Amino acid sequence: MTVKETEIVPWLGRQQPIKGNLIYTESGWMSVHITGAVPRTISRGDFLKLPAEDRVVWLDAYYAYYGSFEIDEVAHVVTHHVANSLLPYETATMLKRNVAINGDILTLLTPPRDDGGGKTFNRLVWKKAA
């Protein structure tokens, strides 16, 4: 979710339900994949027949990046060193997240940013897979 001042707004415009997975490996690599609700199911053949402006409806619901990571246990911060991202401006950047772990729940908070008209941050809540 995205929190703007005191209001909760759709994360990157994606509609509920938002699902995904976040993977951290022992070798220091991570990967994240997030998708919002898509308008309906569609076959591969039908999808490929769509004009580009209609395909974006499905593709815009998806977000992903991968890279290495490091953890600062004292500061409770994880830093993702983005090797590649669907958002080109994120590639070769470092994304810092405040970390809280409660049982099998991992919560990541982005640093606050000014999105014109108020401070905004993202709260991503992950449940450990069984």
pTM for the whole thing?
0.83
* C-beta separation of 97 from 123 below 8 A: no
Q: Which pLDDT score is estimated for 39?
A: 67
**HEC sequence for the chain:** CEEECCEEECHHHCCCCCEEEEEECCCCEEEEEEECCCCCCCCHHHHHHCCHHHHHHHHCCEEEEEEEEEEECCCCEEEEEEEEECCHHHCCCEEEEEEEEECCEEEEECCCEECCCCEEEEEEEEECCC
Q: Does residue 2 carry a pLDDT above 70?
A: no
Question: Which residue is associated with the tokens 């994304």?
Answer: 95
What are 3-12's pLDDT values in tens digits? Answer: 666 777 666 6
CATH for 56: 2.40.128
Q: Which pLDDT score is estimated for 1?
A: 54
Q: Which pLDDT score is estimated for 106?
A: 96
pLDDT higher at 126 or 54: 126
Q: Does residue 130 carry a pLDDT above 90?
A: no
How many separate domains does the chain show?
1
What are 61-108's pLDDT values in tens digits? Answer: 889 999 999 999 999 999 999 999 999 999 999 999 999 999 999 999
Q: Does the CA dihedral 80-24-37-41 come out positive or negative?
A: positive
- Domain of residue 108 covers 2-127
Q: Which pLDDT score is estimated for 80?
A: 98
Q: Which pLDDT score is estimated for 105?
A: 94
